[in-house]
Structure 1
Amino acid sequence: MDPRQITAILFDKDGTLFDFGATWNAWAKAFLMRLADNDRDRAVALGHVIGFDLQAGVFAPNSFVIAGTPDELVATLAPHCPDLSPKALFALINEEAAAAPMSEAVPLLPLLKQLAAAGLRLGVATNDAEAPAFAHLDAAGVRQNFDFIAGSDSGYGAKPEPGQLLAFCSAVGVEPSRALMVGDSTHDLIAGRAAGMATVAVLTGPANAADLEPFADLVLPDIGHLPGWLGLK
């Protein structure tokens, strides 16, 4: 992989642009307590269903929520929440997600401006829903810095399928072989490989380097190391 050939970068959102633990552990606590009507024992039980330890305040490394979609979360929780319709549960998930306290993995605005100034086209592909993704990027003041933003409900499918990635390449007029997928999960990297893109893993999500290395052309501590690798001034 020659970084000089890269003309477009597609970022995952959670665990890549934003630190996963600082954001989604807080979301899970608030969401589960709300879902359980503040019954802590029930919230603990619901946490076990989705792979979240309410006492410790962390997701299990193999929790499907880490790289999953809201639809998958609805399907898992619906049997345990008979008083809520799937539509109502989906709305509750997205409402709490939009309010999640986002913690930038690195200062995003200067990084994105530097990448754009170098002529790179930029996008976001997340397995979160589109509305919370827009809310999070707006709250960080960086939505306008992306040429393309897709959630799992934007019509392109979800990772690890490559639909979002190919849609990005088409939208910005770049061949996949000259685009880079940057993410913190194997879903991101598998999607990148399937789309024919180069792949860079970052360690600001729950996965460790050993998990990601088989699917990544390069592993970096965080996205702040991209300009150096790309040879930008």
Structure 2
Amino acid sequence: MTEAATISGILFDKDGTLLDYARSWVPVNYELARIAAGGDEDLSRRLLVAGGMDPDTGYVTPDSLLAAGNTVEIAEGLVAAGAPFSVEALAELFDGLFANSAALAVAVTDLAGFFATMHARGYRLGVASSDNEASIRATAQRFGFADYLHYVAGYDSGFGFKPEPGMVLGFCAATGLEPHQVAVVGDNNHDLHMGRAAGAGLTVAVLTGTGSRESLSAASDYCLNDITELVPLFTGAGVPAE
């Protein structure tokens, strides 16, 4: 395991990492299922179950389709489960829903202050999400940390999909860092496996999403309650980019 002192870049997941998953996305999931079901309440409930969410409690299973899938993967899964749309049409509807949902998201902390602190310490910072790039940028603007980002990647940005390594390698290309100088921070195993596949120096799990210590322990070097615990861990950028 690479020590935190050698890390110079931090790549964050968005949902469940920067945003509180339950408060931000459970309401969106209900609307997503309603759209996919064409307003059929019984089908909507079945689609939620297919996606990994209990329609009564709102609990989302770790690493399930709704917890970790990108827009196209969710559309494919719900069409296979009976949604009366083509995958392409449903993905387009979902992209619109997700972009608009940035206005209703709930952050896990003061993100502007958090990113300002990490930027001042010399870290190169990025966000890599299975959401679309427009939604990521809208979130960054809303919460005031867009100016601190060196890199943004969504499922539609051309770097591939999690858990493939492409988003991490894109971050490295954008910042001049090597993978071993990068920490990947996320709330589910898609994030952590992406980091491991890319050769990231550290993988850091947080518990503000759908994962648990039990589900995340095998693929993480650290498992933190939330991103604020990164502040005492990453006290200043380490090895400079070569």
TM-score range, shorter chain: over 0.9
**C-alpha deviations, 1:57-92, integer Å up to 9, x for none?**
23233522211111111111224233x332221111
Decide whether the 8 Å contact of 2:121 with 2:235 is kept in 1: no
Deviates more, 1:182-191 or 1:114-123: 182-191
Partner of 1:58: 59
Q: What is the identity, as a one-letter code, of the residue corresponding to 2:43? A: R
Give the match for residue 118 of structure 2.
115
Secondary structure of the residue that 1:53 maps to in structure 2? coil
1:222 aligns with 2:216: no
Task: Provide the rounded CA distance (Å) in 2 between the counterparts of 1:61 and 1:167.
Answer: 26
Match of 1:18 in 2: 19
* Corresponding position of 1:145: 148
TM-score if structure 2 supplies the norm length?
A: 0.90
Partner of 2:240: none
1:81 to 80, 83, 95: 83
The equivalent residue for 1:92 is 93
Partner of 1:104: 107
- Mapped to 2, the partners of 1:103 and 1:210 lie a distance apart of 25
Query: Aligned pair count?
Result: 231
Correspondence for 1:184: 187
Give the match for residue 10 of structure 2: 9
Normalization by structure 1: what TM-score?
0.93
Asked if 1 retains the 8 angstrom alpha-carbon contact of 2:17 and 2:226, the reply is yes
Root-mean-square deviation (CA, aligned residues, Å) is 1.6
CA distance in structure 2 between the aligned counterparts of 1:106 and 1:201, rounded to whole angstroms: 16
> What secondary structure does 2:205 align onto?
strand
Structure 1, unaligned runs of 5 or more:
none
Query: For 1:116, what is the secondary structure of its paired residue?
Result: helix
SS in 1 for 2:159: coil
In 2, the alpha carbon distance for the partners of 1:220 and 1:53 equals: 26
- Show CA shifts across 1:105-133 (max 9, x none): 11111010000011110001111122222
1:213 is the counterpart of 2:217? yes
Q: CA deviation at 1:35?
A: 3.1
Whole-Å separation in 2 of the counterparts to 1:187 and 1:47:
20
Range with bigger deviation, 53-62 or 173-182 = 53-62
Q: Distance in 2 between matches of 1:129 and 1:170?
A: 20
- Structure 2 unaligned runs (5+)? 237-242
One-letter identity of the residue aligned with 2:191: D
Alpha-carbon distance between aligned partners in 2 of 1:221 and 1:190, rounded to the nearest angstrom: 19
The answer as to 2:232 corresponding to 1:231 is no
Distance 1:181 1:42, change over 3 A: same
- Which deviates further from its counterpart, 32-41 or 177-186? 32-41
